[in-house]
């Protein structure tokens, strides 16, 4: 008999903008959805901060920084989906669905 221990994820709380990554400049990402379709997107400001935070790990949905609004805009504007999952205690958190790869910062001329 194999004893497997699968710990639950440990989402992070985002209580203020200071809890998000500092970089807000334009950056390019390759987004591959669960169906295997790929696209490159350029994100900046709060969208970039939330994606960079999600790349580092799961985030709780409840946030004083209104992450849910940004997650919705990422889905509608950029085809980037954050899945909502639930822990055993009922708390909900976001995790990226598909694959998102950081390709680099974008200069003013639009070149990475």
Question: 96 lies in a domain?
Answer: yes
Task: Tell me the mean pLDDT in the region 38-42.
Answer: 93
Question: 7 lies in a domain?
Answer: no
Query: How far is 31 from 102, CA to CA, in rounded Å?
Result: 9
The reported pLDDT for the residue numbered 111 is: 46
Question: 4 lies in a domain?
Answer: no
Question: How far is residue 98 from each of residues 79, 83, 91, measured CA to CA in Å?
Answer: 11, 9, 22
pLDDT more than 70, % of the chain: 90
Range of the domain at 71: 17-105
Based on the structure, what is the number of domains in the chain?
1
Question: 12 lies in a domain?
Answer: no
Question: 9 lies in a domain?
Answer: no
What's the pTM value of the predicted model, to 2 decimals?
0.84
Q: How confident is the model at residue 2 (pLDDT cuts 50, 70, 90)?
A: low
Let me know: does 53 contact 33? Beta carbons within 8 Å: no
Question: 3 lies in a domain?
Answer: no
Question: 2 lies in a domain?
Answer: no
Q: Which residues contact 100 (CB under 8 A, 6 or more apart)?
A: 29, 30, 31, 32, 51, 54, 55, 80
The reported pLDDT for the residue numbered 5 is: 63
pLDDT in tens, 69-104: 999 999 999 888 888 999 999 999 999 988 999 999
């Amino acid at each position: 008999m194999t004893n497997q221990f699968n710990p639950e994820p440990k989402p992070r709380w985002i209580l203020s903008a200071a809890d998000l990554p500092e970089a807000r400049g334009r950056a390019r990402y390759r987004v591959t959805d669960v169906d295997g379709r790929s696209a490159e997107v350029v994100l900046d400001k709060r969208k970039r901060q939330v994606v960079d935070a999600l790349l580092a790990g799961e985030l709780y949905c409840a946030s004083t920084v209104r992450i849910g609004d940004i997650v919705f805009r990422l889905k509608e504007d950029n085809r980037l989906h954050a899945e909502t999952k639930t822990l055993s205690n009922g708390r909900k958190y976001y995790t990226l669905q598909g694959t998102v790869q950081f390709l680099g910062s974008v200069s003013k001329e639009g070149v990475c």
